[in-house]
Amino acid sequence: MTLPVTLTLNAGSSSLKFSMYNIAGAGEPQLMAVGGVENIGGQPQLKTQFGLNEPAVKQDLAAVQAQDHSSALNTALALLREKFPAAKASVVGHRVVHGGPHFSKAVVINDAVLKELKSLSPLAPLHEPHNIAGVEAAKIHFPDALQVACFDTAFHRKHPKVNDTFAIPREYYDKGVRRYGFHGLSYEYISGELERIAPLLFAGRVVVAHLGNGASMCAILNGRSVASTMGFTPLDGLPMGTRCGQIDPGVIFYLQQQEGLSVDQVRDMFYYKSGLLGLSDISNDMRVLLNAQVPEAHEAIDYFVFRIRRELGGLAATLGGVDALVFCGGIGENAVEIRRRICEDLSWIGIEVDTNKNEANAQVISTEFSRTRVMVIPTNEELVIARAAKRLLAEQQ
């Protein structure tokens, strides 16, 4: 007897994250396995975890086992088939970073959709091609399964015009040059959790801080995104692990004209050599920087915190106040010191953090007198993808 499952795939430039969910029955998808292949095309490593309460296992792979996304997927599938021989993938859900101006919800991938996704590659040249590679690899491995695209931009597609445009000639807006916002799958999950556990907060003014190697913030009003720190690309807004965040466009002209850098060199710098790594010249890992007793590490952290506080003020102004601030992502969920520093001296916006609750990583870390609820909610983008995949599969049957 076969067991219907959904696979979720998140393909990066040199990585492939995956999960497997049991979608039998009418309830929520049930996690069976989660993992990823890192350093595809180099010295690859496979990390897997079977169930929420099992320890993660890492193993080094031979180069041939993950020389491209297709072979990496094949390696991961071999392990899943060995562990779950009765499982059959009925639907594969894909994280797609950019959905452009038209995709405002998850869709079934057919030839027309795939063609449209390829046309969006210039809007996200360092992300979209790898997402598409994951789709094409999955189509080879699962020719009978439904393929579903879930977009990081979709959650933001109903932004007010003022938060959706740039002050450049209008013709470029119609060509797709606009503010899209990203991390939408994460924000969708957090918003759904708030609706479940704190419906009054969900109906109010919420700022979510998704802080990890990629970082952004989103203003949400009654469950709807109204502003995001990220814009046309995932470069904008907050400084990140290796990405620069907000920068004066004049810097680009200077680097090209005065420093002689090419477009590719500037892009490589902004995506891979900037952010916490560039500021510290040590690491893009916040854990390393917090333990490093050198001025450069402190300066990088100071800038990271400063930009978050500055963006929080701007998003609060957009919302007309803040009823809840929610932290998620690797840093947001685990870095006690960063949360403390972000929330320090913010009583003017109604934020007071309980030190003991913060250090315990409690779900609510604000004091009982804080006008603004401050929460820590672990995000789960894979579950959002699995839910959408299961729903679209049911609609096709």
Active-site positions read 152
* φ/ψ of residue 283, rounded to 5: -165, 155
Q: Specify the DSSP class assigned to residue 120.
A: T
Count CB-CB contacts under 10 A for residue 43. Answer: 11
Distance from CA of residue 161 to its chain's centroid?
23
Nearest partner of 88 among 20, 36, 34, 147, judged by Cα: 20
The pairing of beta strand 215-221 with beta strand 224-228: antiparallel
What is the distance in angstroms between the CA of the first residue and the CA of the last residue of the chain?
20
The answer to whether 138 and 9 are in contact (CB under 8 A) is yes
CA distance 291 to 297: 9
Nearest partner of 88 among 47, 142, 36, judged by Cα: 142
Which residues, 6 or more positions from 116, have their beta carbon under 8 angstroms from its beta carbon? 100, 102, 103
Count CB-CB contacts under 10 A for residue 312. Answer: 22
CA distance 205 to 125: 34
Q: Specify the DSSP class assigned to residue 55.
A: P
